[in-house]
Amino acid sequence: MEPKLNYQNNYQFKEARFQLVDRLRQRGIKDERILSAMNKIPRELFVDPAFVSQAYEDIALPIDCNQTISQPYTVAFMTQALNLKEGSKVLEIGTGSGYQATLLYLMGMRVYTIERIYELYLKANRIFQQLGVNVLTRWGDGSLGWKEYAPYDGIIVTAAAPKVPEPLLEQLAINGRLVIPVGDRSYQAMYIITKVGDNQFQEEQEHFFKFVPLIGEYGWQNGG
């Protein structure tokens, strides 16, 4: 059965949502599954209430705990780079607002998501429950991955790492993809890494992005 949200979309935002999706299509997002799902997600629920009027602008916005909800283009770009089929198992590092996990859920993926900030973990779970989003969540260090449910067809990291965490490479399935921003704390390249064999990887780099830092054993240290 096709995943759906337990939510009556507010018609106030219907046209804005449609226009956002159209802009993403013009910017090169070709996967219509992504665009269709984004046209169904009430992004206004995921942003700080002070920024609801900007919910459908193609910009990153603040959420709690000095974190951000990513720019819609970035969300769509990273999701497209995963190149997942319906039913694929995907691990998200950095639940944040919960928007990315909701998108993957609506696309028919089996979603596992980790958040290190307890307040965000609780808030995202409340939104998932409200919307009827069936994803498995965990509070902890995302740089370690989630070995219990590995291997994954895709791993998406929504925070910037100084280098690619080894546990995430290990937890990829053969032909699985890891999409992760890597660089310094100012700007990062988007790495798209495909596991082509045991300890064999193909790597691409795309554009430059800016993310909050990935904090953890295989990421940045607090204050480091």
The separation between the first and the last C-alpha atoms of the chain, rounded to the nearest angstrom, is 46
Residues 6+ apart with CB under 8 A from 14: none
Determine the pLDDT at residue 56: 95
Which portions of the chain are predicted below pLDDT 50? 224
Beta bridge partners of residue 160, listed in sequence order: 213
Q: What 3-state class would DSSP assign to 170?
A: helix
Domain range summary for the chain, segments of one domain joined by +: 11-209
**Do 69 and 113 touch, CB atoms closer than 8 A?**
no
Determine the pLDDT at residue 10: 66
Q: At which residue do the structure tokens 């904090």 appear?
A: 215
Determine the pLDDT at residue 84: 95
Q: What is the pTM of this model?
A: 0.95
The number of angstroms, rounded, from the C-alpha of 84 to the middle of its chain's C-alpha atoms is 13
Which residues are known catalytic residues?
Answer: 70
- 11-209 maps to which CATH number? 3.40.50.150
